[in-house]
Structure 1
Amino acid sequence: MAAAPAVRRSELGDALRTCRNAFIGVGIMSCMINVLYLTGSLFMLEVYDRVLPSRSVPTLIGLAILAGGMYFFQGILDLIRGRILGRVGTALDESLNRRVFETIVRMPLTVGGRNDGLQPLRDLDAVRSFLSSMGPGAFFDLPWLPFYLAICFTFHVMIGLTALVGAIILVSLTLVTEYMSRAPAREATGLAARRNDLAATSRRNAEVLIAMGMSGRLTNRWVEANQNYLAGNQRASDIAGGLGAIAKVLRMTLQSAVLAVGAYLVIHQEATAGIIIAGSILSARALAPVDLAIAHWKGFVAARQSWHRLNLLLEKMPERTGQMLLQNPSSRLSVEGISMVPPGDQKIIVQDVTFALEAGSALGVIGPSGSGKSSLVRALVGVWQPFRGKVRLDGAALDQWSSDVLGAHIGYLPQDVELFAGTVAQNISRFDPEANSEKIIAAAKEAGVHQIIIKMRDGYDTQVGEQGTSLSAGQAQRVALARALYGDPFLIVLDEPNSNLDTEGDEALTRAVRAARERGAIVVIVAHRPVGIEAVDQLLVLREGRMHAFGPKETVLGQVLQRVNPPTPIKIVSEGGVAKP
Structure 2
Amino acid sequence: MAVLFSLKKAVLGIGATSAIINILALTGSFFMLQVYDRVIPGRSLPTLVGLGIIAATLYAFQGILELVRSMLLVRVGLSVDERFGETVYDSLVLFPSRMQMPGDGLQSVRDMDTVRGFLSGPGPTALFDIPWMPFYLGLCFFFHVWIGMTALAGALMLVGLTILAEQKSREPAKEAAKIASERTALAEATRRNSEAVLAMGFGRLLGKKWDEINRRYLNNHLHASNVTGTLGTLSKILRMMLQSAVLAVGAVLVIRQEASGGIMIASSILVSRALAPVELAIGQWKGFAAARNSWSRLLQLSQLMPADGREVSLPEPTGLLKAESLHLAAPGSKSAILRGVSFELKAGDAVGVIGPSASGKSSLARGLVGLWQPLAGAVRLDGASLSQWDPTALGRHIGYLPQDVSLFGGSIAENIARFDPDASSDKIIAAAKAAGVYDMIVQFPEGFDMKIGEQGSTLSGGQRQRIALARALYGDPFLVVLDEPNSNLDAEGEAALSRAIFGVRSRGGIAVVIAHRPSALAAVDTVMVLANGQMQAFGPKEEVLKKTTQAAQSPSPPVRLTIAGEGAAQ
* TM tier relative to shorter chain: over 0.9
Partner of 2:122: 134
Q: State the alpha-carbon separation in 1 of the partners of residues 205 and 554 from structure 2.
A: 50
Are positions 1:252 and 2:222 aligned together?
no
Distance 1:398 1:140 in 2: 49
Counterpart amino acid of residue 491 in structure 1: L
Alignment match, 1:573:
none
Offset from partner CA, 1:311-369 (integer Å, 9 cap, x none): 22222333433342111111110000001110022321100000000110100000000
Whole-angstrom CA distance in 2 between matches of 1:98 and 1:421: 20
Q: What amino acid maps onto 2:213 in structure 1?
A: A
Instruction: For residue 432 of structure 1, report the CA deviation from its aligned partner.
Output: 1.0
Offset of 1:464 from its aligned partner? 0.9
- SS of residue in 2 equivalent to 1:345: coil
CA distance in 2, matches of 1:95, 1:189: 22
User: Where do 1:248-397 residues align within 5 Å?
Assistant: 248-397=236-385
Q: 1: CA distance between counterparts of 2:173 and 2:7? A: 28
| TM-aligned CA deviation for residue 437 of structure 1 | 0.8
Once the two structures are superposed, residues 506-534 of structure 1 have per-residue CA deviations (whole angstroms, 9 ceiling, x without a partner) of 11111111121111111000011110001
1:502 match: 490
1:550 counterpart letter in structure 2: F
Q: Is the 8 A contact 1:323 1:400 kept in 2?
A: no
* 1:529 partnered with 2:491: no
- For 1:86-165, what aligned pairs fall within 5 Å after superposition? 86-165=74-153
Deviation at 1:19, TM superposition (A): 2.2
Q: Distance in 2 between matches of 1:342 and 1:124?
A: 28
Consecutive unaligned residues of structure 2, counting only runs of 5 or more, are 557-570
Question: Is residue 479 from structure 1 mapped to residue 467 from structure 2 by the alignment?
Answer: yes
> Residues 116 and 567 from structure 1, CA distance in 2 versus in 1: closer, same or farther, beyond 3 angstroms?
closer
Task: Quote the sequence identity (%).
Answer: 55
Q: Does 2:478 align with 1:490?
A: yes
Q: Deviations over 1:193-248 (max 9, x none)?
A: 11111111111111110111012221232122112101101111111111011001
1:294 counterpart letter in structure 2: I
Structure 1 residues 61 and 162: alpha-carbon distance in aligned structure 2, compared to 1, 3 A threshold: same
1:450 counterpart = 2:438: yes
Q: TM-score, normalised by structure 1?
A: 0.94
Further displaced range: 16-25 or 545-554: 16-25
Alignment partners' CA distance in 2, 1:51 and 1:448? 93
- Is the contact between residue 115 and residue 295 of structure 2 (CA under 8 Å) also seen in structure 1? yes
The SS at the match of 1:391 is: strand
Letter in 2 for 1:166: G
SS of the equivalent of 1:524 reads strand
Secondary structure of the 1:463 match is coil
| Distance (whole Å) between structure 2 residues aligned to residue 140 and residue 347 of structure 1 | 51
The Cα offsets for residues 148-191 of structure 1, whole Å up to 9 and x where unpaired, read as 11111111111000000000110111111101111111111111
Residue of structure 2 in register with 1:6 after alignment:
none
Q: Within 5 Å, which residues of 2 pair with 1:101-250?
A: 101-250=89-238
Tell me whether 16-25 or 502-511 shows the greater mean CA deviation: 16-25
1:55-81 alpha-carbon deviations (Å, 9 max, x no partner): 111111111111000100011111101
Aligned partners of 1:319, 1:90: CA distance in 2, in Å?
A: 24
Indicate yes or no: 2:388 matched with 1:415: no
2:5 to 17, 20, 25: 17
Q: Does residue 403 of the first structure (1) align with residue 374 of the second (2)?
A: no
Q: What is the identity, as a one-letter code, of the residue corresponding to 2:88?
A: V
Matched residue type, 2:275: L
CA distance in 1, matches of 2:452, 2:268: 67
> Conserved in 2, the CA contact under 8 Å of 1:89 and 1:129?
yes
Query: Do the aligned partners of 1:494 and 1:524 also contact (CA within 8 Å) in 2?
Result: yes
Aligned counterparts of 1:508 and 1:105: Cα–Cα separation in 2:
30
The one-letter amino acid of 2:189's match is T
Q: Hey, what's the Cα distance between the residues in 2 that align with 1:457 and 1:222?
A: 41
Q: Distance in 2 between matches of 1:212 and 1:522?
A: 42
Measure, in 2, the Cα distance between the counterparts of 1:500 and 1:254: 75
The one-letter code of the counterpart of 1:415 is Q
Residue pair 2:310, 2:389 contacting (<8 A) in 1 also: no
Letter in 2 for 1:164: L
| Alpha-carbon distance between aligned partners in 2 of 1:221 and 1:452, rounded to the nearest angstrom | 43
Deviations 1:87-124 (A, max 9, x none): 11111111220111101221111112444311011111
Letter in 2 for 1:387: L
| Contact preservation (8 Å) 1:247, 1:291 | yes
Shifted more, 287-296 versus 372-381: the winner is 287-296
**For the Cα contact (< 8 Å) 1:337–1:351, is it kept in 2?**
yes
Q: CA deviation at 1:386?
A: 0.9
2:32 maps to 1:48: no
Asked whether the equivalents of residues 167 and 287 of structure 1 are also in contact (C-alpha less than 8 Å), the reply is yes
Deviates more, 1:469-478 or 1:183-192: 183-192
- The one-letter code of the counterpart of 2:195 is E
Q: Which residue of 2 aligns with 1:57?
A: 45
Offset of 1:16 from its aligned partner?
A: 3.0
Aligned partner of 2:58 in structure 1 is: 70
Q: Deviations over 1:422-445 (max 9, x none)?
A: 100111111111111111111111
How many residues align structurally? Answer: 556
SS in 2 for 1:111: coil
Letter in 2 for 1:264: V
Rounded Cα–Cα distance in structure 2 between residues aligned with 1:376 and 1:178: 49
Q: Which residue type is aligned with residue 519 of structure 1? A: R
C-alpha separation in 2, matches of 1:22 and 1:112: 37
Comparing 65-74 with 15-24, which one deviates more in the overlay? Answer: 15-24
TM-score normalised to the size of structure 2?
A: 0.96
The one-letter code sitting in structure 1 at the alignment partner of 2:110 is R
Distance across 1 between alignment mates of 2:28 and 2:222: 38
One-letter amino acid of the counterpart of residue 460, structure 1: F
Q: Aligned partner of 2:29: which letter? A: S
Equivalent of 2:545 in 540, 550, 557: 557
Shift of the alpha carbon at 1:567? 8.2
Query: Secondary structure, in 3 states, of the residue corresponding to 1:384?
Result: coil
Paired AA for residue 154 in structure 1: F
- 1:85 and 2:73 matched: yes
CA distance in 1 between counterparts of 2:14 and 2:503 reads 65
